[in-house]
Each structure stands twice: as C-alpha cells, then as structure tokens.
Structure 1
Amino acid sequence: MKRLLLLSALAVLAPSPAAQSPAFGLVIRNARIVDGTGAAWYRGDIALRGDTVVQVAAAIEPGGATVLDAGGRVVAPGFIDIHTHARRGIFEVPTADNYVRQGVTTVIEGPDGSSPLPLGEFLTKLEALRKSVNIGSFVGQGSIRSQVIGNADRKATPDEIRQMQALVEGAMRDGAFGLSTGLFYVPGSFTPTLEVIELAKRAARFGGMHKSHQREESVQVLDSVRETIAIGEEGGLPTQVTHHKIIGKANWGRSLETLRLIDAARARGVDVTSDQYPYTASSTSVASALLPAWALEGGREAQARRLKDPATRAKVRAETIAMIRDARGGGDPKNVQFASCGFDPSLAGKTLADLTRQRGMEPTIDNAADATLWLIEQGGCQGIFHAMSDEDVERILAHPTTMIGSDGEVPVFGRANPHPRSYGTFARVLGMYVRDKKTLTLEEAVRKMTSFPAARLKLTDRGILRPGMKADIVIFDPATVRDTATFEKPHAYAEGFTHVLVNGEVVFENGAITAARPGRVLYGPAKR
C-alpha cells in the first residue's frame, strides 16, 4: 500500500507531457539538405536545440518547437570565409550585413601577413562586441616582423628570429589559427624564405596552418607557389595559396602550371591547398600594386624622400610603367580603379586613366605612371586592378583543392567604392559558377564553402549539417541566388537567401537583419 501511495504522489508531482519542455527549440522542415560533405542532396528535416543540431531525418515531429518551413529550398551549413579583412568595419557594422546576406556565418581575419598585435587584446575586444557572425584570426608575419625589425630591407638576426618566434607562440596560445604571410607586401617582401620557415615551425607546434599572399602573382608566380609549398613542407604544417590568381595578360593560362605544382606536392605528401574569390580583378593599395617594394621601405617619410630625388624618382617611374603594362595595371590605365582615397574621396570609382586626364595628360601608360607617383605623394589610395582572365579563375575554382574566400571587408553601405567581392563572392559562385556555367555541382560548391575550410581550420563542430554540430545554417533558393554588386555599383546585397542562423539563432529573415547577435569569437587549436 505504501508503494502505491508513493507512486501516486510521484504521478501527481510529475509534470504533464504538455508542461514539459519541447525536445527541440526549432525544426526546419521541407529542406533540400546539402550537408557540406559533398554528398548528394536529399530531402529532410533538421531539429535544433539551443546552438546545436540534434537530429537530421526524413521527417521530424516538431512537438512544441518553433517550425521554420524551408519550402523545398536548399538548407546548408553556414558559409565559412577563410580570408577576410573583417576588422575593417566589424566594430562599425557588427551585423556584417554584406556577409550575412550571402550566407556567411564565420569570417576569419588576419590574412596577408597583417594582424593586430597583441592578438589576444584584439580577440578580447571582439568578445565584448555584440555581433551577428562568428570571427577568428590568424597572426600576421608582416606585423610581427614590423614590430621586431621595422620596415627594413635586411635579414633578421638570430636574436630577432627568437623574438619573432616568441610572438608567434604567444599569438597561437591566444587563439590564432596559424601564421599568415604577405610576401608581396612590405615588410614581408623583405623576408627570406628560411626566416618564414622558422616562424612556421613555431606555429606548427601549436597545430596551426600557414597561408600566404604570395611574393609574386604574375611573372614569377610559379616560383611563388614553390615557395608557399616549401614553407609548409619544411615548416611541418598545412600551407595554403591564398586568393590564388594569375596576374597580367602575358601570364594568363599559367594556372595550369600552378595547379600542377599543387598536385605534385600533394602527391608527395605536402598538405597544400588554395582559396579564391571568383572575380577577374584584385584589390590592394595603389602603392603596393604599382610601386616596387624597395621604394616603400621605411614608411611614408622615406618614400617621400626617394620621390623627391630626381634619379630615384626616374627609377621608380620606370618600374611603375612596367607594373602598369605587365602586371596589376592590366596593360591600360583604365584597368586601375580607385576604391577609396583618404585625401580625395571624390576619386572613389574613378580610374587611373581618369586621374591622368584630370592631371592634364593623355592616359598613356607613361603618363599614368607620373599620375601614380603624384597620387602616392598625396597619400595614396586603395585600388581595384583588372588584370586576370576568366579562364584562370574558372580553372582554379574547379580544382578540388580550392575553397572559397572573399578577401573582403565589412563595408559601411554606400561609403567609398569597394571591390564587389565583399558583397557577392559566395552568391556569385552559387549563381554564376553552379547554376549558370555549371563549373561546379551545388554539393561541391557548398563543400568548398563549409566543411573544407572548417577542416582546414580544425573547426570540428562546424561546416557540416549533422547531429552534434553547431547550428550555423543558411537557406537559399538555388534558382534565384545571385550577386548584384558590380565594380561600378558595389554596394548591393546578394539575392536568393531567405534565412541565416548563427549558433542556432536567426540573424537574417524576411529580407532583414534581426536583433539577434549570437556571433562568437572562435579560437585556434592551441586555445581550445
């Protein structure tokens, strides 16, 4: 009798099924699931609890959960952008609208050898920021070298190498995903390969990878790919050709050879990959693109002194003429477009040919070199450089070792004239290269945006739609997805995306950014 009374009491005290918490918080129904692995899509439902995917099945009974009807659209893992300059704008636009509206849920900072130092302070500042996207960072070799040596064109001493190794180690412990190099930029351009390898070895100890804006992407691009491979092979860590491209008409087609080098290295056991944005124009500072590295040594004051010396100016001018003719200038001043100019915002969107005419000269290459030197003396500009071929872009994109990375930033909508890659990279791949050109299958394109970069970064809980993974999710219509940003009108959001979730919370729906700010700082393998 006592046992029966106890059971009756427990039955009274136990909550009714209706009062219990639902098994799921959100169920996405009627999904065309592209899970990120590259496997064929299938139809099904996805259930979330908190920030995690807990079930994927042909049909899921939602119970008391909120239901999001995908309406047969593609549901995929949130896109991971492995190469961004998101610190340009993330504190001003923490919703990162340009990225969220094209399905990007994670942005990785610190590319091209440039990162904040100390990295830990930067990441702490990001932790305090209420943001819509996840963010992490590499540590930049150029930033480290600049702190220890400055912008001097010389080899590091053994003691300086030890100091730089200590900075790499500190950044890895702070949460860096690895070491980035920008050997095209000062002071990376002054760095011998062996010095980079010594820093790469230190990043390797903590599970990091290396990625490089290569020393040269035009005439000497093959040597640069060999160097990137060597850094990984001798440094003992995965290595990546970042924004893989071929610059200059005379070099078009050499992606056949750069990809052969990657294939050959992988065949002998070197873990080398690449990333790419799907455009035939690059973007960087006009000084870096059109002046020789030696002319940039020592910073602005040293540059100004060189340009005031007639003999040195003539030498710089000759090299600038060659760069406009054969490299990033694309063989014509009209192929150089200004993205932003601090000293004269009205130049944004205009070309080097326009500036040359504005200076009272015909837009020949020689005259454009004079206009370029004048521009540098005024403070310089960020530029866009039309100097690549569609064939190389498509060939690199199709290669199985290439993932997607925008090389973009977080622009303030309507300000300046940025490269459209910031607004359109991922949508462009899905619209132009999957649907229209059929360069990639839908499943392979999504793999290049999700599980591939996640594996590269050792993000074991993101990049695939399966139980136990974090609920970073994008929903889009493959029939309508497209980029709308152009070089003439870059401030235009991607279309075809209906919902974006970050860590289980909806950050974009019904064409608008929501009030949710669930983005997190993601840390590299040494801090997890």
Structure 2
Amino acid sequence: MAAGRPYRRRSGCRWPPVSSNRGVLGLNSWSSRRPCLRAISVAAALLATGCATSGPSERLGTLSADLLIRGGTVYPGGAEPFGGDVAISDDRIIAVGPSLQIAAKRVIDASGMIIAPGFIDPHTHMQPWLTSAEAHTRVLEPFLLQGVTTAFIGNDGGGPIEVGALLDSASARPVGVNYAVFTGFGTIRSKVIGNARQTPTDGELAKEQALVHKAMCEGAIGISTGLFYAPQSFSKTDEVIALAAVAGAMGGIYDTHLRDESNYNIGLSAAVDEAIRIARESGIAVHISHIKALGVDVQGSAPEIVGKIEAARAEGLAITASQYPWSASGTSLVASLVPLWAQDGGRIAMVERFDDAQQTERLRAGIADNLRRRGGAGALLIVEGDWSGQRLREVAEALSTDPVTVAVTIIRRADPAVISFNMDEADIAAFMRQPWVMTGSDASPKHPRTYGSFARKYDLYTRQERILSLQQFIDSSSATTADFFHLEGRGHLRPGAFADVVIFNPEAYSSLATYQNPDVPATGVRTVIVNGRIAVDDGKVTGLAAGRALRHQPPAGSCD
C-alpha cells in the first residue's frame, strides 16, 4: 500500500487536480470537468493510473471479463454519477462506462441499483473477529451487508506492536474484508512505562520511538491514540509528538481519539488545538476519530470546532475526521463516569480508592458530575452484565438507591459496556456536512453502529433528512477515505483499480439495528465484491473470504 498521488491530467481526457479550496488531501473537485466515461482496454488499465480512451466501445468486443455489472447508476468515487457498467477480470476493474460491449462469464443486472466503490471504515474494533478461529466470524457479515469492503483496526491507541504477525495472519486464516492496522500509542506506552502517571525519561522515550519504527516497518498504516483513556491520558503532548513524528516520517497517519470530546479535562476545543499542534510540529497527517460534541456542556460547539479545523487545513495541515451517525456513543461505565485521577495505576488502585474514606467523597462527586455531563442517569443504557438493557436510573429505582451508589456497586464487580445518549442532532449534521469528514462505525459490541452505521447514514441523513447528497454519502464512505489514507487502487471505480464494489437498492438500503437490538444486519445491499470475488450475492453472504491485509510500505531505506 504505497503512498498515493493525486491523479493528474493525461492526454485524451481529464482527471481533476486536488482542489485547493478543499484543503490538503481533500475531495477531488470535478466542477465542470466531464469524467472519462469511455471504456478502456485491459492493457491501458494496467499501464496507466490516469484515464485514457480507447475509442468506440465496440473495440472492446473481443475482450472478456469474469464479471460484468450492467445497467446501474455508477458512482465512481470523487466524480459525478452516470448510467453504465463495470467490468471485472480477476481482482481488477478493467472497464467502466456506458453500454460496455464486453463478453463476461457472469452478468449482474444492476437495473435500478447504485453501483459504488466498496465502503471503507477507518475506525473499528473488529480485531477479535478478524483473528477468530471460526471461519464464519472472519467473514465479517455485519460489514459486508452494509457494503464495507475495507476496515481499519488498532484504533484508540490499542493497536499492536507486533503488526507484522497480525497482517500475516490473513494468509492462514482468510478474512472477508481488507484491513489495515494502526500501532497503538497506549500499547507502546504501557509496555515501556506501565500504567502510572509519569513522564518518560529520555531513554524510555527512545524505546517508545523504536517500537513505533518497528511497527511501521512491519506494515502499520500509522499510529493511533486514545488520549482520553488512562493511562494514555497521563501523557503530555510532547511525548505524543515525538512518537507521531516517527510514524509521519515513514508515511504514516496519526489517528486520534481526542484527549477530550466534552469537558472532562482540557475541553473539546483545547483537545482539537492539541491535535492541530501535533500535526504542525510532527509533520504528520492527522485524522480525528468519531468527531463529536459529547455532553450537555459542549453541545452546540460544532461550528467552532469546524472553524478551527478549516483554519488548520487552510494553513496547509492535513487534517480530517470520521463520524458515526448516531446520537449515542458507546464505551464502558468506568470510562463514562470515573474521574481520570481515580484511574491512575489501573483497576486495582481504582477500586482501592472506593474503599478509602478520605477519597470517597471526592470520588462520588466526580462520578455525579460526569453523570450530569452525560445527561443524567436516564441517558446511560447498560448493555452488558446483570443489568443489561436497563438505564442506570431504572436500576437505581429498582434498588431504591441513588445512581452514583449503583454505579459504584456495579464498577466494583465489573466494567460493563454502556451506551451514552449525549449528542445533539444539530452538531451531528454540522460535522457530517464537511467534505473532510468520513463515515466510520467505531464498531464495538452491544452498539448498533457495528451493524448499521453506513446504512443509517444513507437512510436517515441522506435519503430522509437530506443532510448529504447521495454522491456526498458515497464519497465520504469510499473515495475520501481511500485518498487520505493512501489506499492505492481502492475507493474508486476505474480501470486498474481493485475490484471492491457494492451494489445497493436506493429504496431499501437501511439499518435495522437499534439500541435495544443492536445485532440486526442491514438491508438493501444486493451484491458486494471484494478483490473481484462475490462476497454478497442477491443479498446473502456467500461465505467467500476474499479480503487482504493491506500492508503500508514505508519510504525506501527507512527500515534498513
């Protein structure tokens, strides 16, 4: 997966340049340019990364394809749609255009359907599925049935150091979608320093940097952080910059769960400032994961945050974000309610503080304030353990006690997953409209975002609310992501690209997953093709595991 380059003008037709008003690495702007719709030959597809015409489509009559998708509305990714066909041989697209005259072993009738590049999810927690011993789990059915053909793992600072082993595992245990891996700041920091609140020595910092270098040489796409979560929250910005600079020098991306999405510590605005500073001082491209304004104290601040990021992009910094289209986040009860100071030293130390009479009052006050920040006990749905399916307020009422006492009682026993209803729809829409905001799921257990994020964004925010056009939805789910993360040959339907394709019914594509029933597959996807192989056929998963590990290639000589 080498670093991508903007597609430049070739003789015979025009690909658009990177639009300056979109910022660095933004969406390509087609303006009044006409996309090249003539089919091109296999030879031209393999020899040129640009667009070349081959003359009348009849010249393709002697070609043959494995698959011909005929008669749909083609959204190529980063370009205007048109009625036409897509031809595939082996794992590549060989032609795209109207009324292709190509013989094929199989023809898929896409009349009335949308044909789009396979969707790309830049933030998931699906590593256990990818590495499962069960072949049917590794197919990743919830993603395929939304049209997702590529996903990233290792987010929130939890990515592995041994990246090579994780990428190599796909050869022995085939997977259903393509995947790329972040190495994790949290994993690296914990290995070198542990869980304590402390600053690394010069020697420890050098060890951390060496581990980043190792992971990048093994194929990591970049480094991720979860600066909100202890012990990553104990780091200072300078430490993060030092590690990000190593990844950036090797062509990697910095993916971050901000230090604060609310006002738990430094506040959302300052956390965005920190991400911008990291981009500026390390020279790395920065991606803000699941951008949001979380909690009653910061709701309504999306325009301010958008303004900060737009100003940084105008400065020339490469900064983007992803977003899941839900008003409720998913995390754990501890992460939601326990103050960060009380998490210093890990779980054992935290529980001991519950038993310390001198700290009890301060701890309870912190939990109460965090509960208020997230909208109260009625806004926190427990989705794991003995009280699964009930709001914290309901549990408190059933036990005839207060929500803080209930929270402490539950946390003493475990740290269950919760769903927190904490976002405002106006903020969601304001972020979603930005051309640098991509679709992401933050896929995790017990939240409907795993089974329905892409489908929900289309059905609710594109089809019903009209926050986005159909092309904006598709581009933010494919081309924008592929271009920023340098996924060469992905995210676009054009000759020579890998054949990752989704065909969906625009009248039926929607999410059926709910907060009460989160594990219900999406509906409306007719066909999904991964690297030229049919993974979903007539709405049903075929069981073929055609995904590949996408290994980032650092610059020559950087790993010698």
What TM-score does the superposition give when structure 1 sets the normalisation length? 0.90
Match of residue 442, structure 1, among 466, 470, 473: 470
Partner of 2:97: 57
Partner of 2:122: 82
In the alignment, residue 57 of structure 1 is paired with which amino acid? G
| Structure 1: segments with no counterpart, 5+ residues | 1-20, 362-366, 410-416
| Structure 2: segments with no counterpart, 5+ residues | 1-61
In the alignment, residue 418 of structure 2 is paired with which amino acid? G
The 5 Å alignment of 1:185-264 reads: 185-219=229-263, 220-264=267-311
Conservation of the 8 A alpha-carbon contact between 1:36 and 1:465: yes
The residue matched to 2:406 in structure 1 has which SS?
helix
Partner of 1:470: 498
Partner of 1:6: none
Distance 1:250 1:64 in 2: 58
The residue matched to 1:162 in structure 2 has which SS?
helix
Partner of 1:304: 351
In the alignment, residue 76 of structure 1 is paired with which amino acid? A
Conservation of the 8 A alpha-carbon contact between 2:291 and 2:321: yes
Partner of 1:480: 508
Conservation of the 8 A alpha-carbon contact between 1:45 and 1:59: yes
Match of residue 286, structure 1, among 327, 333, 345: 333
Match of residue 104, structure 1, among 136, 139, 148: 148
Match of residue 508, structure 1, among 536, 546, 557: 536
The Cα of 1:457 is off from its aligned counterpart by 1.4
The Cα of 1:482 is off from its aligned counterpart by 1.0
Deviates more, 1:218-227 or 1:121-130: 121-130
Distance 1:423 1:390 in 2: 21
Match of residue 211, structure 2, among 163, 167, 174: 167
Distance 1:509 1:199 in 2: 44
The 5 Å alignment of 1:129-528 reads: 129-219=173-263, 220-326=267-373, 330-341=374-385, 346-361=386-401, 367-409=402-444, 418-526=446-554
Deviations along 1:450-509, one digit per CA (max 9) or x if unpaired, are 111111211111000000000000001112211111111112111111000100001012
Distance 2:128 2:409 in 1: 26
In the alignment, residue 207 of structure 2 is paired with which amino acid? Q
The Cα of 1:233 is off from its aligned counterpart by 1.0
The residue matched to 1:89 in structure 2 has which SS?
helix
Distance 2:400 2:172 in 1: 51
The residue matched to 2:124 in structure 1 has which SS?
coil
Deviations along 1:176-234, one digit per CA (max 9) or x if unpaired, are 11111100001110000010000010001110011111111112100000001111111
The Cα of 1:66 is off from its aligned counterpart by 1.2
Q: Percent identity?
A: 35
Distance 1:298 1:127 in 2: 39
In the alignment, residue 534 of structure 2 is paired with which amino acid? V
Distance 1:505 1:22 in 2: 19
Change (3 A) 1:448 1:471: same
Deviates more, 1:82-91 or 1:25-34: 82-91
The residue matched to 1:164 in structure 2 has which SS?
helix
Conservation of the 8 A alpha-carbon contact between 1:44 and 1:59: yes
The Cα of 1:22 is off from its aligned counterpart by 6.2
Conservation of the 8 A alpha-carbon contact between 1:408 and 1:419: yes
Conservation of the 8 A alpha-carbon contact between 1:114 and 1:180: yes
Deviations along 1:364-412, one digit per CA (max 9) or x if unpaired, are xxx2112111111102111111011011011100111111110004xxx
Partner of 2:72: 31
Deviates more, 1:175-184 or 1:478-487: 478-487
Distance 1:460 1:209 in 2: 15
The Cα of 1:107 is off from its aligned counterpart by 1.0
The residue matched to 1:246 in structure 2 has which SS?
coil
Conservation of the 8 A alpha-carbon contact between 2:375 and 2:421: no
Conservation of the 8 A alpha-carbon contact between 2:524 and 2:539: no
Partner of 1:13: none
The Cα of 1:357 is off from its aligned counterpart by 2.6
Distance 1:320 1:312 in 2: 12
The Cα of 1:282 is off from its aligned counterpart by 0.6
Distance 2:285 2:457 in 1: 25
In the alignment, residue 466 of structure 1 is paired with which amino acid? R
Deviates more, 1:330-339 or 1:490-499: 330-339
The residue matched to 1:475 in structure 2 has which SS?
strand
In the alignment, residue 467 of structure 2 is paired with which amino acid? T
Distance 2:196 2:248 in 1: 27
Distance 1:110 1:339 in 2: 23
Distance 1:377 1:97 in 2: 35
Distance 1:358 1:310 in 2: 27
1:122 equivalenced with 2:166 (yes/no) = yes
Distance 1:456 1:369 in 2: 43
Q: Could you list the structure 1 runs, at least 4 aligned residues long, displaced by more than 6 angstroms after superposition.
A: none
Distance 1:64 1:375 in 2: 60
Conservation of the 8 A alpha-carbon contact between 2:167 and 2:550: no
Deviations along 1:406-450, one digit per CA (max 9) or x if unpaired, are 0004xxxxxxx7111101110111111111111111111111011
Distance 1:22 1:119 in 2: 41
Conservation of the 8 A alpha-carbon contact between 2:257 and 2:289: yes
The Cα of 1:148 is off from its aligned counterpart by 0.5
1:95 equivalenced with 2:144 (yes/no) = no
The Cα of 1:117 is off from its aligned counterpart by 2.9
Distance 1:126 1:183 in 2: 30
Partner of 1:364: none
Distance 2:394 2:166 in 1: 39
The Cα of 1:527 is off from its aligned counterpart by 8.4
Distance 1:510 1:225 in 2: 44
Distance 1:59 1:336 in 2: 53
The residue matched to 2:287 in structure 1 has which SS?
strand
The residue matched to 1:71 in structure 2 has which SS?
coil
Distance 1:426 1:526 in 2: 31
In the alignment, residue 352 of structure 2 is paired with which amino acid? R
The Cα of 1:354 is off from its aligned counterpart by 2.5
Conservation of the 8 A alpha-carbon contact between 1:457 and 1:524: no
